[in-house]
Amino acid sequence: MAWRAAGRRGITDLRTDDRVVTQPEEMPELDRRMAVLSPHLYDGVPLTVAARRQGVPVRTAQRWLASYRVEGAAGLTRSPRADRGSRRVPVELVKVIEGLALRRPPPQIAQIHRQISEMAEKQGVATPLV
């Protein structure tokens, strides 16, 4: 799929043959990254120029290119976070924090943090950061 940038500054309007994407967030991640790399890889456009046209920092484009050369297209996808789906704060403590935050009038964050820090210390759990 060939992407071409329209507009003078960054990505304002990306066109494909069949539709117009107005926000870069609407493009799949791999397509966005290939939109930067393809002109460089296939048309001989300097990477700095291709990155500038797409509104991407040159250093980021260099990292993408290095990953692409080592791993191919798989190197352009983000790996999931190692801590995804896990919480450092116990569920019970989260419920207490939410309960304190929903009081009327709402307490100050520092007050909530002090109370939660005391509770975490009593339970032998690390103090959550606010």
From the list 48, 56, 71, the residue with the least C-alpha distance to 14 is 56
Sign of the four-CA dihedral 67, 73, 77, 82: negative
The pLDDT score that the predictor gives to residue 110 is 92
Strands 20-21 and 4-6: unpaired
pLDDT at residue 53, rounded to an integer: 95
Residue 4 near residue 45 (C-beta atoms within 8 A): no
The pLDDT of residue 10:
41
Are 14 and 3 spatial neighbours (Cβ–Cβ below 8 Å)? yes
Question: What's the pLDDT at 15?
Answer: 45
pLDDT of residue 25: 55
Instruction: Please calculate the CA angle 94-98-99 and round it to the nearest 5 degrees.
Output: 115
For residue range 108-119, what is the model confidence (pLDDT) as tens digits?
999 999 999 998
Q: What is the pTM of this model?
A: 0.48
What are 35-90's pLDDT values in tens digits?
999 999 999 999 999 999 999 999 999 999 999 999 998 888 887 888 777 777 78
